[in-house]
Amino acid sequence: MASSPVILPFKLIVKMKRTVSIIGAGIGGLTTALTLKQKGIKSIVFEGSEEIKSVGAGIIIANNAMQVFKELGIHHKIEKAGNKISYMKIKDEQLNNLNVIDLRVYEQKYGVRNTAIHRGELQKILIDELGLDHIHLSKRLFKIQKSELFKLTFEDNSTIESDIVIGADGIKSVVRDQLFEKSTLRNPNQICWRGICETDLPQKYHNELNEAWGKGKRFGFVKISDKKVYWYALANSKNIQPDNINLVDYFSDFHADIINIISATKKEQTILSDIFDLKPIHKWQSENICLVGDAAHATTPNLGQGACQAIEDAYVLGQLLDNEPAIENTFKPYENLRRKKAHTIVNTSWTVGKMAHIENGFGIWLRNLAMKNMPKSFNKKQMDMIFNLH
């Protein structure tokens, strides 16, 4: 009679093989996992949500991030699922141009297009490429402890041990808070509404991002598919009760096209949130643990680079793995290569956010004048810095 197979406890199985655990199935975590997969390194992504839903608002995947997706072989899928953007325009309340950035030169240089897409669509593309077998749902990290291995305890009281951990768990990272020095979230005292609506956007807006700056508030919009428009609105939070604000009334001094977008949006398609960033920290890694994305360098949304910088993190780790097969040996050089640019993005975005929300009439006049007379060389220098992969 054949003997029964020996079934090893899960913890013992984990100890017998070298494991890489990624905390968080956001865009940064999924891109990191996909990068590792293409380098021959299997990882498991632990996600707190019960299911992967096509929820959330839109996102613009800028040229630097699209270059990464080109390396991963999926940029055509993203461009097909979204809407290509060739111009970024800062405008006044009545949609008169203050500053125009022509992105076509970068399209030609790098062979990819800035693409506006629904976050859920992008997430679906990444998951399809990675495979659901790499993702464990309903695993929200509660505690992480370091001894010989990392012990991960989840809110459902399950535990695992892992050789290597990558924290991709966002601005309020449990990994960062429990294993790194104390960090500080900064509040710019601004609130943000995000929404998606179905509307016939005038043709002139189809391949551009528009952001209108007013008095202590602004409104941006971009087409993300044939009929869908993603928009965002930010306002200084001082002395306002956002839950009681009627956005049509609040933005009544803005152009009618903006009012039409707000009016076409169902209440359930609107998300309200405060915005924060992470005061720059200089330690993103230690031995067998590493932070990526918002866990390492969360930024305000003013440059549209939050997710893009997380994607760039994954790219740099992947490039380093070409010459160093031991992933933990890439963490220190990754930190050295990425820190300066990521912190520049964080600090520049903070400054832009403050400038966009001036409330003083004379200050607004000066700001708009400065934007109109911005040298093209300044715009080029900034775009070169953002789009160049380091």
pLDDT at 4 over 50: no
Report the range of poorest mean pLDDT among 55-64, 79-88, 331-340, 364-373. 55-64
Strand residue runs (E) in 147-189: 150-154, 159-162, 164-167, 185-186
Residues 6+ apart with CB under 8 A from 142: 153, 154, 155, 174
Distance separating alpha carbons of residues 348 and 304, to the nearest angstrom: 11
Average pLDDT taken over every residue of the chain:
93
pLDDT band of residue 15 (cuts 50, 70, 90) is: very low
Please name the amino acid found at residue 214.
G
CA–CA distance, 176 with 291 (Å, rounded to integer): 7
pLDDT number for residue 54: 63
Position 181 scores a pLDDT of 94
What would the pLDDT profile of 270-310 be if each residue is shown by its tens digit? 999 999 999 999 999 999 999 999 999 999 999 999 999 99
CA Rg value for the chain:
22
pLDDT, position 55: 63
SS3 291: strand
Structure letter (DSSP) for residue 8: P
Best CA proximity match to 334, nearest among 381, 297, 371: 297
In the chain, what are the domain boundaries?
8-51+137-186+280-357, 54-118+189-274+360-390
* Residue pLDDT, tens place only, 327-349: 999 999 999 999 999 999 999 99
For domain 54-118+189-274+360-390, say whether CATH 3.30.9.30 is its number.
yes
- Single-letter amino acid, residue 90: I
User: 88 has which bridge partners?
Assistant: 101, 209
Q: What is the pLDDT of residue 165?
A: 98
Confidence of residue 183 (pLDDT cuts 50, 70, 90): very high
pLDDT digits (tens, 9 = 90+) for 355-387: 999 999 999 999 999 999 999 999 999 999 999
Q: What are phi and psi of 143, to 5 degrees?
A: -150, 140
Q: What is the mean pLDDT of residues 109-113?
A: 96
- Hey, do 8-51+137-186+280-357 and 54-118+189-274+360-390 end up sharing a CATH topology, with the first three levels equal? no
SS3 386: helix
- Residues 192-240 pLDDT 10s: 999 999 999 999 999 999 999 999 999 999 999 988 999 999 999 987 8
The backbone region for 160, taken as left when phi is positive above 0, alpha when psi lies in -120 to 50, beta otherwise, is beta
Q: How many angstroms separate the Cα of 107 from the Cα of each of 67, 112, 241, 378?
A: 10, 5, 42, 19
DSSP state of 89: E
CATH code matching the domain that covers 8-51+137-186+280-357, chosen among 3.50.50.60, 3.40.50.1220, 3.40.50.620, 3.30.70.1380? 3.50.50.60
Neighbours of 239 (CB within 10 A): 5
